[in-house]
Structures are given as C-alpha cells and as structure tokens.
Amino acid sequence: MADFPVSGSNSYIQYGWETSYGSVSASINKAFGHNQKLTIRRNMNTRPVYGLGDLDATKTYSGLFEGGLTVEFDLASTYFMKAVMGTVSDGGTGPFTHTYSDSTGFAPTSFSLENGINLDTDTVWKFLGCVVDRCIIEGRVGETVKVTLELKYASETWASSGIDTSPATDSEDIMVFSEGSLQIPSGTTLARVQSFRLELVRNAELIWGLGSRIASKSVWKTREWNWTVDVTYENEDMIQDLYGQTSGPLTATNPAGEASLVLTFTNGGATTALRSLVMTLTNSYITSDNMGQNVENLLTAEYTGFSLDYTSIIGTDNTSTTP
C-alpha cells in the first residue's frame, strides 16, 4: 500500500523515567495529562565552509546535534512535576500526597519520551535524555488548566515496529480554572481572577564532550518563578503593593514585596475523592501592571511579578506511589 498522509489521531506520546541519562527507559508507560500535543525540533547544526577565492561554499560540516520538544496537555495528575522539580516523596493514607522538591540539586531528572505514529510502515521514535527547560501552568475563565513543557533532549532512536496499540492515558479528571484559587499574600484570596500564568524556568543546558556530537549530561542552572495575573479592577490594593506605599512609587527603598503566593487547583472532593495541586511560592514581588480602559470591555488589570523561591509543591490523589 502506498504512503498516505495521517493526522494526529494516528499518533501518541508517553514517557518513562531513565536510570541513567540518555539511556532508554525500561518502562515508558506514563501519560502527561489529557489532550496531549507534541512539537519536535531537530537541529544538526550543519554549516557551509568557505575558503579564500571561493564564491560559493565548497564543503559542509555538522556541529552539535540539538533536540527540542514541546509537550502541551490539560492538567489532571501531577506526576509530571517530578520532571520539573527533580524528585518526589509520597505520603498520607488516602488521600495520598506527592511532594515535589529539588533535592537533586542541579542534576535534572531525565526521561525517555516515545512518539508512535501508525503508518503503513510504523514509526516509533524514542527521544532520550529529555529534561525540562521551562514549565508553564496557565488558565483562563471557562477553560481547563493547561500545562506546557519545553524540553531539551540528547538523542533519539527510530524503529519501524513496536508501536504501542494501547498507549498510556491519564486516569484522573481534568482540572478546570473554576476549581482554582490564588492567594497574594497567603491568606488573602484574590476575587474574580480572569487568568493566571506561572512560568517556572529551569534553564537546562545539555553538556557535550570531545569526540561526540551527542550530549552526555545535562544540568539545571538558575531557577526563575515568573507569573502574570489578570483580575477585574475593583480597588488599588495591588497597585499599592507594586508601589510599596499608597501614594506613588517609593523613591529611596525597594517595595517590601509579598510574603508568599499560593496557587491552588482542586476538584472540590474530600478524603479519597480529593484531587489537587497546591504551589506555595515565597518572597513574591509585583513588578509591573498593565490596564486598558474602553467602554466595550470589562475593566481588568494585568499584574506581572516573580517569586524568589518556593515552600512546597504538593499533589493530592488516591494513588499511594508516584508512577
């Protein structure tokens, strides 16, 4: 049968933790969430070579191989946060908690990602040494909570067989924006939040060595917690937090900032029916605001800020051990 174009309904993705960086995982059996999407970027860094007297290039060479992936999905289970933070500890007796922390230091937790495409001759790609460079969690009124993972990877393999006819799925229900809350600072819940975006930047870098075009290690460098919140404008409280006082910006010192920021998504369940993700960030600062006004639109203000660190990131469900 001749080659024939297919859509994304003929493909799947799933992932599994690696025991050593860049070595294919023995258990690629986890879904990121619901409504998964994948974008692949490959770069052989091939360059033309010119010499004296050459009008056109006469040779080429290939530099380092660089691979990148973007995975998008609707938030349900929280297990992907192990890849974002580095490690997880499980606790509780039902519901169970999954506490994600950065105890691995600068060494990212890597995973293998499988992308199968059901063709006449099947395609099964396995992307090896995947590490999180950036994680974005965002939502808007009336929508699901969406997650975007920007990944870097070291290498990949290809096979024409071995496609998974029953790939992994997320068994948890999708979390929606109406089930969330935002506190700035902790204990003060903002009313009528229209949208929220949290961007956790890990600044991942792949490491190459003499004798290979393929990365053999990876490292996380500085960490950034950036966020943007859009709320209906009803008072000047957050602008005063931006200023550091009530009557315009401070001139001699910096604003004190907020003690913490708490972002919560929950299904509203209790005991074993509870599903949630609670992120508590510390030393949070509002750095700018943006507010437009016209008679046709709701008056809202967009505030941009960052946090210096975090206290805890905890997922809750009825699964005792993070898969």
Confidence of residue 7 (pLDDT cuts 50, 70, 90): confident
User: Which tens digits make up the pLDDT trace of 25-56?
Assistant: 999 999 999 999 999 999 999 999 999 999 99
Assess whether pLDDT exceeds 70 at residue 71.
yes
| Residues whose CB is less than 8 angstroms from the CB of residue 252 and which lie 6 or more positions away in sequence, other chains included | none
Query: How many helices and strands, by DSSP H and E, does the chain display?
Result: 2, 19
Number of domains in the chain: 1
Whether residue 119 lies inside any domain: the answer is yes
pLDDT of residue 256: 81
Domain presence at residue 168: no
**What CA–CA distance (Å, rounded) separates 191 from 41?**
40
Q: Write out pLDDT tens, residues 195-232.
A: 999 999 999 999 999 989 999 999 999 999 999 999 99
Which residue did the predictor score with more confidence, 58 or 256?
58
Q: Bridge-partner residues for 226, per DSSP?
A: 199, 306
In a domain, 284, yes or no: yes
In a domain, 1, yes or no: no
Q: What is the pLDDT of residue 215?
A: 96
User: Token pair for residue 73?
Assistant: 């999905």
For residue 121, being part of any structural domain is answered with yes
Residue 232 lies in a domain: yes
For residues 152 and 130, what is the distance between their CA atoms, to the nearest angstrom?
6
Cα–Cα distance between 226 and 239 in angstroms, integer? 18
- Is 130 domain-assigned? yes
Q: What is the mean pLDDT of the chain?
A: 93
Cα distance between residue 93 and residue 19, in whole Å: 28
Residue 25 structural domain: 10-51+58-163+174-317
C-alpha dihedral, 68 to 134 to 213 to 41, nearest 10°: 10
Per the domain annotation, does 4 fall within a domain?
Answer: no
Tell me: the pLDDT tens digits for 139-198? Answer: 999 999 999 999 999 999 999 999 999 999 999 999 999 999 999 988 889 899 999 999
Residue 81 has pLDDT above 60, yes or no: yes
Amino acid at 18: E
The answer on pLDDT for 3 being more than 80 is: no
pLDDT digits (tens, 9 = 90+) for 97-115: 999 998 777 889 999 999 9
Q: What does the pLDDT read at residue 1?
A: 38
Q: What is the pLDDT of residue 237?
A: 84
